[in-house]
Amino acid sequence: MLMKTMALFAITAVAEILGCWLVLFAKQPGRSLGWLLPAALSLAAFAWLLSLHPAASGRVYAAYGGIYVAVALIWLALVDRVPIGRWDLVGGAMMIPGASIIVLANWRST
């Protein structure tokens, strides 16, 4: 259950980050505003994926936030090609257990 939830959060984070990244990409000089359509589709997928969780929305958003931070750091390194530092890694690593606690504690209490 935990791995499925975390995987869904990771996919959701990629959809959100991609949608926002495509908006920034479309705004660059010489780029077509046509990139806003896939951006909107990606952001719509993000909202739909987030709605697949049965828990209360505030709890889902809190747990998702931790996974989002970790995925955003991976995106920073792989897509934006910005080196992530020691403190980025420490902070990102701290998010995963926090999100896991929120998911597991509430899964076991239902």
Which of 43-47, 51-55, 56-60, 89-93 is least confident?
56-60
Summarize the confidence of residues 3-27 as an average pLDDT: 92
Task: For residue 101, name the pLDDT band (cuts at 50, 70, 90).
Answer: confident
Whole-model pTM: value is: 0.82
93 three-state secondary structure: helix
Which of 28-32, 51-55, 61-65, 68-72 is least confident?
51-55
